[in-house]
Amino acid sequence: MKQEEKWQAKYDQMMAFMEENHRRPSKYKPEERDMLNWFKHNKKAMNKGIYPKERLERFNKLLEVADKYRRLNQYSHKVSDTL
């Protein structure tokens, strides 16, 4: 399996996971940690500017979906509702 195929398989796995579970992978669940580490590694590479251009558009789409399932701080959410 080539590197691009491995990347695509991880991308598809991450996208399917978020659409199915309506959340990001958790660092507390060992079976999800691999996906989370892959996501964080790619995000860091993108922020450093060393991300391959051919993957950038697809990864940006993944970031949009991940943003939709971003965990909110419950305390700050409750405080802003009462103000």
CA distances from 38 to 7, 26, 78, 79 (A): 9, 12, 32, 34
Q: What is the mean pLDDT of the chain?
A: 87
| Least confident window among 17-21, 41-45, 50-54, 72-76 | 72-76
* Ranges of each domain in the chain: 3-82
| Confidence class for position 71, pLDDT limits 50, 70, 90 | confident
pTM above 0.75, yes or no: yes
Q: Has residue 82 got a pLDDT over 60?
A: no
